[in-house]
Amino acid sequence: MTHSTANRTRGPVTGSPTTGNGHDPKLEIRGVTKNFVTRAGEVDALASCDLALEQGEFLTIVGPSGCGKSTLMMVAAGLDEASSGSILVDGEPAGGPGPQRSVVFQRFALFPSRTVADNICFGMQQARVPKPEQAERLEEQLTLMGLGKFRDSYPHELSGGMQQRVAIARSLVLRPEILLMDEPFGALDAQTRLLLQEELVRLRQVHRFTVLFITHSVEEAVYLADRVAVMTRRPGAIKTVIDVPGDAEWRSSDIETAMGHPEFTQLRQRVWKLVKEEIVAS
């Protein structure tokens, strides 16, 4: 596989925290709150969250542990219901889960009794994609993700990094318009994580999908994003959204080189300061 990130496409997004360039949003999170009832009483997880992602935008979310990042992702994906507020896609209520929005979780969630090829095809089978088209899309993803040699392997025969490639391929094969990723590299070793971060940048050049990406890593958030949203401590709300310059010199570098660039360091420190304020306050 090719891990070079030279000349990668990074569409700069500027403007207000919730509207990017002011275009009609592809995905909009509008006034979303979420409350849970526990034995100890009611827990307020999210407090009036507002975000809007434009077509093709990559937005990352960081914040203190327990601030509701994953809860927000589940609501945005249609896998959980908001207590109030709404999720819109192209200006219309998004409803429940569907192929338009595809999710990649931290845990690979592969079927252990299915081969790599069968895992990738599962969603297409459920969506009743015609078999000839399934075969075509499968071959495309096996090639794109470097999984051709492993098509007949089972998940337990693969490394963590290869399993996550399968999980990403299973999402991409549905050709979603929106990709939601909940700490997809969080369970991986440091070296594999770096490689997959660069792979994701490469994949985005091929599939200009809209991405909402949750992470605990400030470096990862800055490296991948057009904009970085910082959440407050629980109940989580959007504290601020920071633009990442699309024409920054480090944009054409791999992540290790980028992290040594003064502009990257300055931006990383700015984001970390905001996250740290919420950690200390909690």
Tens of pLDDT, residue by residue over 50-102, are 999 999 999 999 999 999 999 999 999 999 999 999 999 999 999 888 878 99
Calculate Rg over the CA atoms of the chain. Answer: 19
Q: Is it the case that residue 16 has pLDDT exceeding 80?
A: no
User: Considering 175, 197, 229, which residue would you say is the last residue of a domain?
Assistant: 175
Q: Is it the case that residue 188 has pLDDT exceeding 50?
A: yes
| Number of other CB atoms surrounding residue 270 within 10 Å | 15
The alpha carbon torsion through 164, 166, 169, 174 (nearest 10 deg) reads -110
Q: What is the CATH number of the domain that holds 257?
A: 3.40.50.300
Distance separating alpha carbons of residues 257 and 250, to the nearest angstrom: 7
Per the CB < 8 A criterion, the answer to whether 268 and 219 are in contact is yes
Mark whether 161 and 183 lie in a shared domain: no
- What is the β-pairing status of strands 227-231 and 238-243? antiparallel
Mark whether 149 and 74 lie in a shared domain: no
Q: Is it the case that residue 14 has pLDDT exceeding 70?
A: no
Q: How far apart are the first and last CA of the chain?
A: 43
Q: Is it the case that residue 130 has pLDDT exceeding 60?
A: yes
Q: How confident is the model at residue 1 (pLDDT cuts 50, 70, 90)?
A: very low
Q: Is it the case that residue 13 has pLDDT exceeding 60?
A: no
The average pLDDT across 234-255 equals 93
Q: How many domains does the chain have?
A: 2
Residue 143 tokens, joined? 């090639």
HSE of 204 in the Cβ direction (CA atoms, 13 Å)? 26
Sheet holding 84-89, edge to edge: 41-53, 27-38, 84-89, 92-93
Q: Is it the case that residue 6 has pLDDT exceeding 90?
A: no
pTM of the predicted model as reported, rounded to 2 decimal places:
0.86
User: Considering 175, 204, 224, which residue would you say is the last residue of a domain?
Assistant: 175
Mark whether 77 and 115 lie in a shared domain: no
Check residue 21 and give its pLDDT.
Answer: 58
pLDDT digits (tens, 9 = 90+) for 138-166: 999 999 888 999 999 999 999 988 998 99
The average pLDDT across 261-268 equals 96
Per the CB < 8 A criterion, the answer to whether 75 and 150 are in contact is no
Mark whether 209 and 86 lie in a shared domain: yes
Stronger pLDDT, 218 or 13, i.e. the higher one? 218
Mark whether 115 and 89 lie in a shared domain: no
Q: How confident is the model at residue 22 (pLDDT cuts 50, 70, 90)?
A: low
